[in-house]
C-alpha cells in the first residue's frame, strides 16, 4: 500500500502562506532530520537579521547570528568562552533567573551579584553594579561580563533607555562584555509607557565599542514553543577571531535542533497583513497579550491589598515577584524544618491550593526578605487569585499573625 | 475560515499503527511545544528501558535513563560532572571522534590518549590503556574515566566480549568510570562474526561495580535523524546522589528537544511484525543495511588494491579509515603550505573530485602516519570509488611517486 505524503494531504486545506512557507523552508533546509550548519540554517539566520534590523533601525549581519537550542544553550556557550576557572567574575542581577548561577557553577566562574531596587520597581542601579565591581576587584576576581535580563525574570521590570545608556558606558569603563538576555522582549503589558529597547540599538546609537551578546528565544512571547528548543544570539562588536572560536565551539554539539530553528523562523517572520493566515494570527496574538496583561495587573492589584504583601506591578515578562512579610512563628517553624521561610510558604501553598510558585530564595533576595515568583500564564485568574488570598490569610493566622 | 487539524487529515490515510503511536505519544506528552521533564518524557524513558532490557537480558530502570539532545549533549554533561579543571584525566582512544578532545578542552580536563591497534583491525589494547594510566599518574594527572567508542568512530572496529570484560576489570583496578559510546550499535555489517554487545550487559554479567554511562543516539543507525537532536544515556552503578546531581545539571538546560525524544521513541520501539507499517519498515531498514554493508566492503576492497593504501574492512559504524603512504615531495609541499600532509591530500581530493573526507589528523594517528576518514553513506559507490582511485594515482604521480 502507498501512503500519501503530508504535503499532498494539507494542500488546499491549510492557508496558502503557511504552505508556501513550508515549501520555502524545505527548499532551504532539505530534510528536518539532517544536521544543519552548526550556526543554524543560513536562510533562517538571514530572517533573524532582517527581524533585528526592522526592530532596531540598525544593520544586522547574518554572520553575527548563532541559532541555539533555546537561549540557555547560547548563554552556556558564551559563559564557557568567557570564563577562566576560579578567576573570572560575571555580574548578575539579584533576583535573577537561576540559569546564570547554575551555569557559572558549571564552568567554575564567580557570580558577582548586584541588587535590583525593589522600591523603584526593580530598577537597575548603576551604583549597585559599581559596588559589586569594586568588591570583586578587592577580592582578586576579574569582572569580565555583565548580565542584564530585560524585561526581567523574575521581576518583569523593563530598563528605560537612559539607564541602558549608562549601563553601556559602565561596561566601557570597566571593559565588561555585556550579556543582554532579552527573551521577554515581546511580553510588554504597557508598551506606551514601558517600551522595550534592545541593547543592540543602544550600543549602536551611542556608537559604543562594548562587546555585546544579545539572546532571544522561541520559548517566551505568545508562542512559547519551549519544548522545541530554539533561540539565537547576536554578536555585536565581537572580533572575527572570537566569532571563529564560538563557531568552533558550537560545532562540538553539531547543530541546534532543526525543528526549533523552523519555529524561530516563524517567530521572526510572522504572517504579514494581507496574507491568508494573518487575521487568525493577529487575533490569537492579541488575545493572548490581552489575557497576560489582564492577569498580571489583576493579580498585582489583589496581592497589594493583602496585609504584609507588596508587589511591583510588572510592565513586562510573564511573572510577578511579590514580597511577603511572614509571622515570626512561621520563620521559626521553617528553621526547625531546615527550610527557608519562603520555601515553607510555597510548600504549604502547594499542599493547600495546588498552586505552584517558586520561593524567592531560588532567585536571590536581600537577607531577611521573603518573596515568591508567580507566573501569569494560568487561565481562571479570579479563582486562582482568590485561592492565593485565602491561603495567605490562613497561613498568617496559623502562625500567630504579623 | 476553519482549518482542519492534522490528525483529521491523516486519518485513514496513514498506517493505523503510526496513527495509534502518535495518539499515544500525544496523550503522554501533551504538546510538542511544551517543556518536558528535564530527564525526558517518563513514557519514553520507559520505552528506552524496555529496549535495553530486550537487548541485554538484564533489568533497566527508567529512572537511570536521561534523554539528551543527541549523544554529544550527554557526553558533555557527564564529562562536566567528572572533571576537576586541570587535574582530571580522561582516557580516550586514538583515533577518536573529536567530540571528546573538544569537550575535554571546554571543561579544562586532560585527554589521556591510548592507541588502538591498526594491525589487529583497530582493536582495543589493554596494554596501551595501562601505559596511558601509568604515564598520567607520573605526570600528576588523576585518571578518572575511560572512553570506549564501540563500534568505533572513525575505525568501525567492534570490541569482542573477552576484551570488554578485560576493560571492565581494568576500570575496577584503577577506579575508572566507564563511558561507553555505543551510538553505532545498529550499524553492523557482519553481525554473525562481529556482533555488538553492550557494556551494560558485560558489567552485569561480571556483576561488576564499575560505574558506567552508556550513550545512544537517533543520529546513526539507519534512521539518522540527527537534525532532531535526540539520544539518551543510561546510568549503571551510579549512586542516587550522583544521579540527583546529574538531574539538577540537566535541568539547567530545561529539557531535551521534544521532537528528538519522539524520534527516540520510534528508534527504541520500532514497528513489530503484524503491524500495518511493519513490512515497509522492514524493507527500508534491510535495504539501507545491505547498501551500507555493500559500500563499505567494496570500498575497503578497492582501497586495499591501491599502491600505498591499506584499509581495515570495518565490521561496523559508517566509516572506513584507510592508511595512506604519501610521497616525500607531498610531505614537503604540505610543510611548505603549513598543513598536515593528510590535509593537503584531502583538500586536493576535494578540489579534483568533489569528494569530502576528513584528514586523520582530526582524529589522531601515530607520528608519521597518514589516514583519512571516508563515510560509506554515499550512493553511487562505483563511481565514487573510481574517482578516489584515479585521484590517488594522479596524486602519487604528481608528487614523484612512492
Min distance B167 CA to chain A CA atoms (Å): 27
Nearest residue, CB atoms, A224 vs list B9, B33, B260: B33
How much of chain B exceeds pLDDT 70, in percent? 100
Which residues fall within 8 angstroms of residue A308, CB to CB, at 6 or more apart?
A: A324, A325, A326, A396, A402
Same domain, yes or no: B12 and B45 = no
Widest distance between CA atoms in chain B? 75
Closest Cα partner for B239 from B86, B83, B54, B63? B63
Put simply, the answer to whether A257 touches B106 (Cβ < 8 Å) is: no
Nearest residue, CB atoms, B13 vs list A3, A99, A102: A3
pLDDT tens digits along B292-315? 999 999 999 999 999 999 999 999
Min distance A263 CA to chain B CA atoms (Å): 10
Same domain, yes or no: B338 and B214 = no
pLDDT tens digits along B3-40? 899 889 999 999 999 999 999 999 999 999 999 999 99
Cα–Cα distance for residue pair A124/A151, rounded to 1 Å: 11
Nearest residue, CB atoms, A225 vs list B33, B102, B224: B33
Nearest residue, CB atoms, B259 vs list A4, A34, A257: A257
pLDDT of residue B296: 93
Contact A143, A112 (CB under 8 A): yes
Strand order in the sheet with B358-359: B319-320, B372-375, B358-359
Question: How many other β-carbons are positioned within 10 Å of the β-carbon of residue B400?
Answer: 11
Same domain, yes or no: A261 and A324 = no
Domain assignment of residue A2, yes or no? no
pLDDT of residue A286: 95
Put simply, the answer to whether A13 touches B13 (Cβ < 8 Å) is: no
pLDDT of residue B339: 95
pLDDT of residue B223: 85
Same domain, yes or no: A121 and A256 = yes
Residues in chain A within 8 Å Cβ distance of B254 = 70, 72, 226, 229
Put simply, the answer to whether B252 touches A224 (Cβ < 8 Å) is: no
Nearest residue on chain B to A107, judged by CA atoms? B107
pLDDT of residue A253: 86
E strand map for A172-245: 177-181, 212-217, 231-236
Cα–Cα distance for residue pair B119/B324, rounded to 1 Å: 14
Residue A372 φ then ψ, to 5°: -145, 160
Q: Where residue B378 falls among pLDDT bands split at 50, 70, 90?
A: confident
In this predicted structure, the answer to whether residue B1 has a pLDDT above a threshold of 80 is no
Cα–Cα distance for residue pair B323/B334, rounded to 1 Å: 17
Same domain, yes or no: A175 and A304 = no
The grid coordinates of residue A149 equal 535580563
Put simply, the answer to whether A252 touches B72 (Cβ < 8 Å) is: yes
Domain assignment of residue B273, yes or no? no
Give bridge partners of residue A113 from the DSSP assignment: A92
Which residues fall within 8 angstroms of residue A215, CB to CB, at 6 or more apart?
A: A71, A74, A75, A179, A180, A181, A182, A183, A231, A232, A233
Give bridge partners of residue B196 from the DSSP assignment: none
Q: What share of chain B is helix, strand, coil (3-state, %, to 5)?
A: 50, 15, 35
pLDDT of residue A223: 85
Number of domains in chain A: 2
Last residue of a domain, one of A240, A268, A296: A268
Cα–Cα distance for residue pair A202/B91, rounded to 1 Å: 48
Preferred mutation among B33, B76, B153, B264 to probe A, highest tally of A CBs within 10 A: B33
Same domain, yes or no: B94 and B220 = yes
Nearest residue, CB atoms, B35 vs list A80, A226, A255: A226
pLDDT of residue A141: 94
Put simply, the answer to whether A76 touches B253 (Cβ < 8 Å) is: yes
Q: Which of A30-34, B137-141, B164-168, B301-305 reaches the highest mean pLDDT?
A: B164-168
pLDDT of residue A300: 93
Put simply, the answer to whether A257 touches B102 (Cβ < 8 Å) is: no
Domain assignment of residue B318, yes or no? yes
Same domain, yes or no: A140 and A172 = yes
Domain assignment of residue A179, yes or no? yes
Put simply, the answer to whether B252 touches A76 (Cβ < 8 Å) is: yes
pLDDT tens digits along B95-105? 988 889 999 98
Put simply, the answer to whether B224 touches A33 (Cβ < 8 Å) is: yes
Residues in chain A within 8 Å Cβ distance of B106 = 80, 249, 252
pLDDT of residue B357: 94
Radius of gyration of chain A (CA): 23
Nearest residue on chain B to A259, judged by CA atoms? B228
Residues in chain B within 8 Å Cβ distance of A257 = 69, 227-229, 257, 259-260
Nearest residue, CB atoms, B225 vs list A9, A33, A260: A33
Q: What is the CATH number of the domain that holds A154?
A: 3.40.640.10
Domain assignment of residue B212, yes or no? yes
Q: Where residue B85 falls among pLDDT bands split at 50, 70, 90?
A: confident
Nearest residue, CB atoms, A15 vs list B3, B69, B226: B3
Nearest residue, CB atoms, A9 vs list B3, B10, B76: B10
pLDDT in tens, chain A (402 residues): 678 998 899 999 999 999 999 999 999 999 999 999 999 999 999 999 999 999 999 999 999 999 999 999 999 999 999 998 889 999 999 998 888 998 998 888 999 999 999 999 999 999 999 999 999 999 999 999 999 999 999 999 999 999 999 999 999 999 999 999 999 999 999 999 999 999 999 999 999 999 999 999 999 998 899 999 999 999 999 999 999 999 999 998 889 999 999 999 999 999 999 999 999 999 999 999 999 999 999 999 999 999 999 999 999 999 999 999 999 999 999 999 999 999 999 999 999 999 999 999 989 888 899 999 999 888 888 888 999 999 999 999 999 988
Residues in chain A within 8 Å Cβ distance of B275 = none
Min distance A306 CA to chain B CA atoms (Å): 33
Same domain, yes or no: B19 and B165 = no
Tell me which residue range forms the domain holding B4. 1-26
pLDDT of residue B401: 87
Residues in chain A within 8 Å Cβ distance of B33 = 223-228, 263
Cα–Cα distance for residue pair A56/B197, rounded to 1 Å: 56
Nearest residue, CB atoms, B33 vs list A15, A107, A227: A227
Same domain, yes or no: A259 and A283 = no
The grid coordinates of residue A297 equal 495587573
Residues in chain B within 8 Å Cβ distance of A1 = 15
The conformation of residue B84, written as its DSSP 8-state character, comes to: P
How much of chain B exceeds pLDDT 90, in percent? 88
Residues in chain B within 8 Å Cβ distance of A6 = 10
Put simply, the answer to whether A228 touches B257 (Cβ < 8 Å) is: yes
Last residue of a domain, one of A221, A240, A268: A268
Nearest residue, CB atoms, A69 vs list B4, B106, B257: B257
Q: What is the CATH number of the domain that holds A365?
A: 3.90.1150.10
pLDDT of residue B98: 85
Put simply, the answer to whether A33 touches B108 (Cβ < 8 Å) is: no
What mean pLDDT, rounded, does chain B reach? 94
Question: How many other β-carbons are positioned within 10 Å of the β-carbon of residue A38?
Answer: 18
The grid coordinates of residue A266 equal 516563524
Cα–Cα distance for residue pair A391/A383, rounded to 1 Å: 12
Min distance B394 CA to chain A CA atoms (Å): 33
Domain assignment of residue B274, yes or no? no
Same domain, yes or no: B152 and B289 = no
Residues in chain A within 8 Å Cβ distance of B258 = 227-228
Preferred mutation among A5, A249, A257 to probe B, highest tally of B CBs within 10 A: A257
Same domain, yes or no: B157 and B98 = yes
Residues in chain A within 8 Å Cβ distance of B253 = 69-70, 72-73, 76
- Does residue A151 have a cis peptide bond before it, meaning omega lies within 30 degrees of 0? yes
Put simply, the answer to whether B226 touches A33 (Cβ < 8 Å) is: yes
Nearest residue on chain B to A3, judged by CA atoms? B14
The grid coordinates of residue B27 equal 496523550
The vertex-B129 CA angle with B124 and B135, nearest 5°, equals 155
Put simply, the answer to whether A259 touches B256 (Cβ < 8 Å) is: no
Helix (H) or strand (E) holding B112: strand B110-115
Domain assignment of residue B367, yes or no? yes
pLDDT of residue B21: 96
Last residue of a domain, one of A214, A236, A268: A268
Domain assignment of residue A9, yes or no? no
Same domain, yes or no: B284 and B222 = no
Put simply, the answer to whether B6 touches A10 (Cβ < 8 Å) is: yes
Preferred mutation among A33, A105, A108, A284 to probe B, highest tally of B CBs within 10 A: A33
Residues in chain A within 8 Å Cβ distance of B13 = 3-4, 9
Amino acid at each position: 500500500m502507498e501512503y500519501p505524503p503530508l504535503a499532498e494531504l494539507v494542500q488546499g486545506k491549510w492557508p496558502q502562506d503557511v504552505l508556501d512557507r513550508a515549501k520555502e523552508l524545505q527548499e532551504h533546509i532539505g530534510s528536518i532530520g539532517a544536521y544543519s550548519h552548526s550556526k543554524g540554517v543560513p536562510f533562517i539566520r538571514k530572517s533573524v537579521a532582517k527581524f533585528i534590523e526592522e526592530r532596531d533601525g540598525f544593520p544586522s549581519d547574518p554572520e553575527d547570528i548563532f541559532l541555539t537550542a533555546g537561549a540557555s544553550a547560547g548563554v552556556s556557550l558564551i559563559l564557557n568562552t568567557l570564563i577562566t576557572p576560579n578567576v573570572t567574575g560575571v555580574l548578575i542581577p539579584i533576583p535573577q533567573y537561576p540559569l546564570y548561577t547554575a551555569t557559572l557553577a558549571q564552568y567554575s566562574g564567580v557570580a558577582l551579584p548586584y541588587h535590583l531596587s525593589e522600591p523603584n520597581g526593580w530598577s537597575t542601579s548603576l551604583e549597585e553594579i559599581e559596588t559589586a565591581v569594586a568588591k570583586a576587584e578587592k577580592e582578586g576576581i576579574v569582572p569580565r561580563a555583565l548580565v542584564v535580563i530585560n524585561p526581567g525574570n523574575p521581576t518583569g521590570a523593563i530598563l528605560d533607555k537612559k539607564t541602558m545608556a549608562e549601563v553601556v558606558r559602565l561596561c566601557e569603563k570597566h571593559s565588561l562584555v555585556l550579556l543582554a538576555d532579552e527573551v521577554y522582549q515581546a511580553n510588554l503589558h504597557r508598551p506606551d509607557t514601558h517600551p522595550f529597547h534592545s541593547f543592540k540599538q543602544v550600543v549602536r546609537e551611542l556608537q559604543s565599542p562594548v562587546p555585546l551578546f544579545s539572546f532571544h528565544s522561541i520559548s517566551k512571547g505568545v508562542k512559547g514553543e519551549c519544548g522545541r528548543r530554539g533561540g539565537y544570539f547576536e554578536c555585536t562588536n565581537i572580533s572575527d577571531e572570537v566569532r571563529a572560536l564560538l563557531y568552533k565551539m558550537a560545532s562540538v554539539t553539531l547543530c541546534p535542533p532543526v525543528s526549533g530553528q523552523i519555529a524561530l523562523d516563524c517567530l521572526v517572520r510572522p504572517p504579514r497583513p494581507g496574507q491568508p493566515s494573518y487575521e487568525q494570527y493577529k487575533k490569537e496574538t492579541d488575545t493572548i497579550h490581552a489575557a497576560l496583561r489582564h492577569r498580571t495587573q489583576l493579580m498585582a492589584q489583589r496581592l497589594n491589598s493583602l496585609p504584609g504583601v507588596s508587589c511591583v506591578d510588572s510592565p513586562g515578562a510573564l511573572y510577578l515577584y511579590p514580597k511577603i512579610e511572614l509571622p515570626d512563628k512561621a520563620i521559626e517553624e521553617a528553621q526547625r524544618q531546615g527550610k527557608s521561610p519562603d520555601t515553607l510558604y510555597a510548600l504549604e501553598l502547594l499542599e493547600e491550593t495546588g498552586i505552584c510558585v517558586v520561593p524567592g530564595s531560588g532567585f536571590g533576595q536581600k537577607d531577611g526578605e521573603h518573596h515568591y515568583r508567580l507566573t501569569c500564564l494560568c487561565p481562571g485568574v479570579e479563582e486562582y487569585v482568590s485561592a492565593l488570598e485565602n491561603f495567605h490569610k490562613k497561613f498568617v493566622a496559623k502562625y500567630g499573625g504579623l
